[in-house]
Amino acid sequence: MTTLETPRLKPQDYKTLALAALGGALEFYDFIIFVFFAAVIGEIFFPSDIPEWLRQLQTFAIFAAGYLARPLGGIIMAPFGDKVGRKKMFSLSILLMALPTLAMGALPGWDAIGLAAPLLMLLMRMLQGAAIGGEVPGAWVFVAEHVPYKRIGIACGTLTAGLTIGILLGSVVATLINTTMTQQAIHDGGWRIPFFLGGLFGLGAMYLRRWLHETPVFIEMQQRKTLAQELPLKTVILKHQKSVVISILLTWMLSACIVVVILMAPVWLQKQHGMAPALTLKANSIAIIMLCIGCIVAGLLVDRFGASRTLSLGSVLLALCSGMFYSLAPQYPDYLFQLYGLVGFSVGVVGIVPFVMVRAFPAEVRFTGLSFSYNLSYAVFGGLTPICVTLLMNVSTMAPGWYVMTLALVGLLTGLWLRQDISHEPNLCDGIKQA
């Protein structure tokens, strides 16, 4: 089969994609559900006699710890993925997410065990961070090495869409809890329900992953005895700096766009422009759905036109749509749904990111290289972006828009770099067989 042909996905490929996307959605749900119940968690896990701002600061510090722990997935778990197999690490990551999520739902509060309560919550949160640090890169590598070469884009785009579905699922569950239960009932135990659900669903997803098979690429490396002989992370740092830099830049774009446009925009609309929470949450749900569609469309386009063209044009679209949303939405609230949906779709350009990253590293160190770059960038920019944007909003209410447009410029320049420096990406195909 020539590289000009586009082979169809097989039933086994669809099965692999479905199980990987389901697991990714559930892991992202488990990871993000904390933020929707941060207020009640702060009341339960910290003393009642401290100032409210300090309680919230400590609560969000625990939330942020999950981001800081993500590199552990890249540094500790990923090398084993390159040495003992993708499937084993892929299954371990969802187990490490499900068990702490169940534990978080069962933890006693400050009134019962004192200081041990927030410390245990912090420990569980860090375990969650390490788990998702291994899950997302593991999922991308797993499906990329299963599907035909010319279908890597749609596979990775579908997985990225699955992750965003996890955010939507968390929002829906939180909305249902808040609309069907009183605040007192939520405080008395209702907040635990989403954590129990997430943990149980995660265990179910892990069981279903038993039916997945090891990737053909890893099996071939085993047979040829070409697995990494030295520490994979050492090889990545010494021999693949260019790939690491590209991956870090694109992960910054991915993480910050989702944080600013999806997670922060509803609060920006409420606090800066006085819009009703119910209205902004509905608009946010539309944006998430459009983001999912955008990720899949980006995956289809990158398979057809390549990373350079798709990333460059997608970044220009992101800049235009974000500028329209942040400048026009406050002035024309009647068009909020349309504007938010449009910018959500344009953020779907991030569906290209895993396509570039899985092809940027040779198979022997692919899991480690992708995971290290992704998690390092996510830990830094995922944590710093909300702080930077919040500080910049003291200067201008358009600060989130300017930040997203800066990210679009990063995407555009990276896209041009891929074209000029790695023409037609001959070096981004190492280790992936052209089916």
Answer yes or no: is pLDDT of 229 > 60. no
Answer yes or no: is pLDDT of 2 > 50. no
Answer yes or no: is pLDDT of 427 > 60. no
Q: Give the integer Cα–Cα distance in Å for 107 and 100.
A: 10
Fill in the amino acid letter for 354. P
Answer yes or no: is pLDDT of 65 > 90. no
367 with 78: CB under 8 angstroms? Answer: yes
Q: Give the integer Cα–Cα distance in Å for 213 and 123.
A: 32
Answer yes or no: is pLDDT of 288 > 50. yes
12 with 187: CB under 8 angstroms? Answer: no
Q: Give the integer Cα–Cα distance in Å for 363 and 97.
A: 26
Residue 342: band (very low, low, confident or very high) from pLDDT cuts 50, 70, 90: very high
Q: Give the integer Cα–Cα distance in Å for 216 and 408.
A: 36
Q: What is the DSSP letter of 7?
A: P
pLDDT in tens, 359-395: 888 877 887 888 888 888 887 887 778 778 878 888 8
Which of the residue ranges 4-13, 38-47, 400-409 has the most confident prediction, judged by mean pLDDT? 400-409
pLDDT in tens, 98-123: 899 999 999 999 999 999 999 999 99
Q: Give the integer Cα–Cα distance in Å for 17 and 334.
A: 38
Q: How many residues does the chain have?
A: 435
Cβ partners under 8 Å of residue 279, min gap 6: 333, 336
pLDDT in tens, 253-275: 998 898 899 888 887 888 788 88
Residue 228: band (very low, low, confident or very high) from pLDDT cuts 50, 70, 90: low
Answer yes or no: is pLDDT of 156 > 50. yes
Phi-psi label, residue 189: left if phi above 0, alpha if psi -120 to 50, beta otherwise: left
140 with 354: CB under 8 angstroms? Answer: yes
Mean pLDDT over all residues of the chain? 82
What domains does the chain contain, in order, with CATH numbers?
11-428 (1.20.1250.20)
Q: What is the pLDDT of residue 292?
A: 93
pLDDT in tens, 323-333: 999 999 989 98
428 with 352: CB under 8 angstroms? Answer: no
Q: Give the integer Cα–Cα distance in Å for 245 and 119.
A: 35
Fill in the amino acid letter for 2. T
Q: What is the pLDDT of residue 337?
A: 94
Q: What is the pLDDT of residue 180?
A: 86
Instruction: Please give the backbone phi and psi of residue 227, each rounded to the nearest 5 degrees, phi first.
Output: -65, 155
Residue 410: band (very low, low, confident or very high) from pLDDT cuts 50, 70, 90: very high
Average pLDDT of span 73-95: 69
